[in-house]
Chain A
Amino acid sequence: MATNPMTQFEVYRIGPEIKVGAFDISFTNASLFMVISSIAILIIFNLGSKKNSLLPNKLQLLAELSYTFISKMIGDTAGSQARPYFAFIFSLFMFVLFCNMFGMIPYTFTVTSHIIVTFMLASFIFIGVTIIGFIKHGFGYLKLFVPSGVPAVLLPLIVIIEIISYLSRPISLSVRLFANMMAGHTMMKVFGGFVVSLGIVGGWLPLSFSVALTGLEILVAFLQAYVFAILTCIYLNDALNLHH
């Protein structure tokens, strides 16, 4: 094998080491791509919202289609009460999507292929949704764990299962994104390595596979961003409209 397929996920320091107390917050390649993704989002959507013409140009159309797409997604899954959280879910979707998509460019770094990043996002969502639920329903939010219409005998078991499933939300949410991104990129690297090692004679098959895989990975990059956002909407819906 040409190179280890895992080296693409290595984080390294760019510039000097920055330390705040005992914590190392140096600027790394991961930080670089977070900044690049954020700036790309801001540039695209700023240009897309700058001029308001009746017949939108391409960037404006892109911005407005994204806006209506996410707005519709939130409206469909979480209802009109989720309106105040629109900006957060929009930012979240765009951030994850752009990080995923930037990772598809060769020699770049995929921010979302790191469990710590996705876990931070997911746990922030989990904590936020739990706080929203308790503010909105008080201790009535605990009714989420007691589904209606369940026989009394099964109730203790169901409640335990519900609590476990609720607590595993941040893990499932973060691992889904992280594992998808990491597995896809690793596979592409492995097939890329096959192309090199099989050379001009046998390299064509893994090369064609690699091309197909690139298309699939772009689809996965979009899909995982969408899944991440829509699951956030669903969790938010649970917290806002308590009906189980």
Chain B
Amino acid sequence: MIKKLLLQLVFFNILFTKKVFAAESKGMPQLNPEFWISQIFWLTLTFGILYVILSKFILPKISANLESRKSQISDNIEAADRQRSESELKLKEYDKIISKTKIEAKNIFNQEKQKMLKDISIKKDTLDKQIDEEIKKAEKEINHLRKDAPSKINKIAIDTSADLIQKLIGIEINNSSISAIVDDLFKKNKEKYYGN
């Protein structure tokens, strides 16, 4: 209610203050022109000084502070970007080196493998040859032994039978007659004992 009243007062009477203030000076100190000049003077003075000091000294400093911070931040961002690209380059280089060395290692490995395989095959061949020779030798010996075996056995048989006869009967029998018998038996049983 009072607000409305005051607003009305302000809006309708502002242009006619001279007439109004005489009646309303008790109600509204704002419309009492006693200190208007003083207020205008002090407003001009204080606001003027405030404006001059702010615009000449303080605001340029704040602006400089803001600028320097902005430039510092952008510098830092730039530096970070540069370092990142550098590190990316280095990473690429590193990857290249790694892949290169990998290929090299593979090559070396393959070469060594082939060399080793070759060595192994050579050694295997020589060993095979040696073994074959040994086998052949052994076979020869076996064959030789086999060929000799019947005559030797016959001889042993003749000797043992002569000894046996002598021990059993006490008669010395001519070796040739015994050998004839052994030969005869041998011929008969040759198939049976030797098979070939």
What residues make up the interface of A, taking CB atoms closer than 8 Å to B?
A: 5-7, 9-11, 13, 23-28, 30-31, 34-35, 37-38, 41-42, 45-46, 48-50, 52, 54, 60, 63-64, 67-68, 86-88, 90-91, 94-95, 111, 113-117, 120-121, 171, 175, 178-179, 182-183, 186-187, 190
What's the least CB distance linking B32 to chain A, in Å? 8
The residue of chain B having its C-beta at the shortest distance from the C-beta of A31 within the complex is: B42
Q: Which residues of A contact B50 (CB under 8 A)?
A: 38, 41-42, 91, 94-95
Pair count A-B, CB < 8 A: 146
> Contacts A64-B65, A179-B7: A91 and B51 contacting too (C-beta < 8 A)?
yes
Q: Which residues of A contact B46 (CB under 8 A)?
A: 31, 34-35, 37-38
Q: In B38-69, which residues have CB < 8 Å from any A CB?
A: 38-44, 46-47, 49-51, 53-55, 57-59, 61-66, 68-69
Q: Which residues of B contact A115 (CB under 8 A)?
A: 10, 14, 30-31
Picked from A11, A25, A31, A87, the residue with its CB within 8 Å of the CB of B54 is: A87
The residue of chain A having its C-beta at the shortest distance from the C-beta of B32 within the complex is: A11
Q: Are B29 and A10 in contact (CB-based, < 8 A)?
A: yes
Q: For the complex, is B23 an interface residue (Cβ under 8 Å from A)?
A: no
Q: Are A95 and B10 in contact (CB-based, < 8 A)?
A: no
Q: How far is the CA of A179 from the CA of B62 in the complex (A)?
A: 34
Q: How far is the CA of A64 from the CA of B33 in the complex (A)?
A: 40
What's the least CB distance linking A174 to chain B, in Å? 9
Chain B CB within 10 Å — which of A6, A35, A60, A88 has the most?
A6
Q: How far is the CA of A115 from the CA of B36 in the complex (A)?
A: 10
> Contacts A34-B43, A116-B40, A187-B3: A67 and B62 contacting too (C-beta < 8 A)?
yes
The residue of chain B having its C-beta at the shortest distance from the C-beta of A49 within the complex is: B61
Q: Are A179 and B10 in contact (CB-based, < 8 A)?
A: yes
Q: Are B30 and A49 in contact (CB-based, < 8 A)?
A: no
Nearest first, the 7 closest Cβ-Cβ pairs linking A and B are A87-B55, A31-B42, A49-B61, A34-B46, A25-B41, A52-B65, A11-B35
Q: How far is the CA of A46 from the CA of B50 in the complex (A)?
A: 12
Q: For the complex, is B11 an interface residue (Cβ under 8 Å from A)?
A: yes
Q: Which residues of A contact B54 (CB under 8 A)?
A: 41-42, 45, 87, 90-91, 94
What residues make up the interface of B, taking CB atoms closer than 8 Å to A?
A: 2-3, 6-7, 10-11, 14, 27-44, 46-47, 49-51, 53-55, 57-59, 61-66, 68-69, 72
Q: Which residues of A contact B40 (CB under 8 A)?
A: 116, 120
Picked from A37, A46, A63, A186, the residue with its CB within 8 Å of the CB of B6 is: A186
Q: How far is the CA of A179 from the CA of B28 in the complex (A)?
A: 12
> Contacts A52-B65, A67-B63, A115-B31: A24 and B37 contacting too (C-beta < 8 A)?
yes
Known: A11-B34, A45-B54, A94-B54. 19 other contacts (CB 8 A): A9-B29, A11-B32, A13-B35, A25-B41, A25-B42, A30-B38, A34-B42, A37-B46, A42-B54, A46-B58, A49-B65, A90-B59, A120-B43, A175-B14, A182-B6, A183-B3, A183-B7, A186-B6, A187-B2
Q: Which residues of B contact A68 (CB under 8 A)?
A: 66
Q: How far is the CA of A187 from the CA of B41 in the complex (A)?
A: 29
Q: Which residues of A contact B42 (CB under 8 A)?
A: 25, 27-28, 30-31, 34-35
Picked from A35, A37, A114, A175, the residue with its CB within 8 Å of the CB of B39 is: A114
Picked from B30, B36, B64, the residue with its CB within 8 Å of the CB of A9 is: B30
Q: How far is the CA of A113 from the CA of B39 in the complex (A)?
A: 12
Q: Are B41 and A86 in contact (CB-based, < 8 A)?
A: no
Q: Are B38 and A95 in contact (CB-based, < 8 A)?
A: no
Q: Are B14 and A11 in contact (CB-based, < 8 A)?
A: no
What are 27 A-to-B residue pairs whose CB atoms are below 8 Å?
A6-B28, A10-B29, A11-B34, A24-B34, A25-B41, A28-B38, A30-B38, A30-B42, A31-B39, A34-B42, A34-B46, A35-B46, A38-B46, A42-B50, A42-B58, A45-B62, A63-B62, A64-B62, A68-B66, A87-B51, A87-B55, A91-B54, A94-B54, A117-B43, A179-B7, A186-B2, A186-B3
